[in-house]
Structure 1
Amino acid sequence: MSPTKPPDNRHSAASREPRCLNVHDDTVTSDTLLGDTGLLVIEHNGRCYQLRRTRNDRLILTS
């Protein structure tokens, strides 16, 4: 997989307010992670990945 950048400034860490997540026994709900947008950008080893909710209410991780 080649490194990618977040799709635009709406999803960059600098343009979003920090938020706190409740974690219980190492479990976080997808609603908590994805919020209202249904999208979470994860930076790992210099690469950005997108975790998103699909129209079929499944999760997909893409780079």
Structure 2
Amino acid sequence: MLYGTLLELLTRAQTLVDPSNIAIRLLEPLKTEFPILSYADFYLVTYFLSLVFLRLMLCLGA
């Protein structure tokens, strides 16, 4: 019984730190506001914004 309890705690701890779960929870408000967009669309927007941010940082010399 103790093993099952420890296993349950470990699996619960892993789900709290799962990066994909965190990303999905952060995107849920946008997903409800724009239901026509998929998670792949959000992935492309994130990629584009990271490139723009990188370009801006390179131009500013930071």
TM-score (norm 2): 0.22
Task: From the CA coordinates, give the structure whose radius of gyration is larger.
Answer: 2
If each structure's helix is expressed as a fraction of its own residues, which one has the higher value? 2
If each structure's strand is expressed as a fraction of its own residues, which one has the higher value? 1
Question: Per chain length, whose mean CA-contact separation is higher, i.e. which structure has more relative contact order (CA < 8 Å, sep 6+)?
Answer: 1
TM-score (norm 1): 0.22
